Amino acid sequence: MEKHRHCLNCGISIPPDETFCSEKCKDEYIKKRKRIMRAQLIVLFVIFVVLVIFVWLRG
Ligand SMILES: [Zn+2]
């Protein structure tokens, strides 16, 4: 059985001891992750604000 991994960013086959096919791909992946994390934080914040307003309106 052939042992290999896939680049976490673009998905091409890479050696089993690698995580990304290139430094460029690694940077792209980290940037993407940061964007997703920021989006999730914004969503959580909006949910929090809505909950606070809801509780506040109900007294
Ligand atoms: Zn890649």
Note the pLDDT tens digit of each residue in 14-48.
999 999 999 999 999 999 999 999 999 999 999 99
Distance (Å, whole) CA 50 – CA 42: 12
**Could you tell me the two tokens for 59?**
């007294």
Task: Give me ligand 1 centre to Cα 52, in Å.
Answer: 43
The answer, yes or no, to whether residue 2 has pLDDT greater than 90, is: no
Task: Give me ligand 1 centre to Cα 3, in Å.
Answer: 17
Judged by phi (left if over 0) then psi (alpha if -120 to 50, else beta), residue 20 lies in beta
Task: Give me ligand 1 centre to Cα 32, in Å.
Answer: 13
Contact partners, residue 50, CB within 8 Å, separation at least 6: none
Q: What is the pLDDT of residue 1?
A: 61
Q: What's the one-letter identity of residue 48?
A: F
**How many domains would you assign to the chain?**
1
Q: Which domain holds residue 24?
A: 5-58
13, with CB counted inside 10 A (0-12, 13-18, 19+), is: exposed
The answer, yes or no, to whether residue 59 has pLDDT greater than 80, is: no
> What's the pTM value of the predicted model, to 2 decimals?
0.69
The answer, yes or no, to whether residue 51 has pLDDT greater than 90, is: yes
